[in-house]
Amino acid sequence: MVISRGSPPAVPLRVTPQMRLSLLVWIFLLACSCGCSISEKFQQQLEVTATVSAARTAPEGTMTTGSGSTASQVDLDDQDLSESTLTLGTRIQIDHGPLRFLIDSIGASSDAVGFFSGSIAGADLPADNYRSEMELGSSRLLMAFPLSAAARGEDGILDARLLAGLDLSTIRIHFNSTTDPTVFAEFDELAPAPVLGIQSTVRIAPTWDLEGLFTFLPLAQITDYDAQCIDGSIRIGWDPDPDWNIFAGVRSHSIELSRVADGRPIDLDFSIEVIELGVEYQF
């Protein structure tokens, strides 16, 4: 977490969700190739599926900061930061035999100008009009283990898999006074979450399928964070061609986080609601 106040902020190196996704891809490919050579047989068994979607995202939630005997709250709706925006969702799916690896990324961002007075993390902001920015995102690296016959390459209409991996939730809130640029505050957090889940795809017609993907795990039992992260999505897809799939779906990503910064307790409860329309291609 980075909290600044009292002098103009330096221009930091911003790590976008797309940059994090690229890094995860390279880490995964390095892990797959480390200690072995990729034979021609391995290459023939490897199947890569890329998904790109146009997503309408809407962030929601609040951040509450304790300040002395009182508490200040930033409500995204009250600050006009919950407006929906159009963004890009991505997923890379790699199948090698019965094993599957998933890498996906989604995010939401908004900005507004409005009145605020109170505390943000370790900074107390006087009553004024502030230009505010909010970014909330999720990048996941998951491994899927087969549970059903279809997932193992046998006959069946239900492909069910157990998921295990890492969810990287990013939260950034920045307030800057419109009358005095030296008055500002920023909260910037990266919450790594080990997660478990399930992915299931059922063939409901010869060219139609329904996919559900759900990940969760209370972080307080695994990491130093007193938090929980839950993500669920459902898609319906149409296969005009064996290599192509056109889909529409909805997704909800939520994170609740409690921690202490500069001696002040902070409670966050944020979510991204997503409606997406996209295309999937198998190489």
The more confident residue out of 25 and 84 is: 84
pLDDT at 29 over 60: no
Q: Specify the pLDDT at position 214.
A: 97
Amino acid making up residue 254: S
Task: Say how far apart CA 151 and CA 134 lie, in whole Å.
Answer: 39
Ramachandran region, residue 24 (left: φ > 0; alpha: ψ -120 to 50; beta: rest)? alpha
Instruction: Tell me the per-residue pLDDT of 202-239, one tens digit each, with 9 for 90 and over.
Output: 999 999 999 999 998 766 566 556 778 899 999 999 99
pLDDT at 38 over 80: no
Asked whether 120 and 65 are in contact (CB, 8 A), the reply is yes
Chain-centre distance for alpha carbon 169: 5
Give pairs for 212-215: CB < 8 Å, separation 24+: 213/163, 215/140, 215/142, 215/163, 215/165, 215/167
- Token reading at 175: 């307030």
Q: Which fold has domain 17-26+45-282?
A: Lipocalin (2.40.128)
Could you tell me the residue ranges of all domains in the chain?
17-26+45-282
Give all strands (DSSP E) within the chain, no chain letters.
46-67, 70-75, 85-96, 99-120, 123-146, 158-177, 184-205, 208-218, 226-241, 244-261, 264-282
Amino acid making up residue 175: F
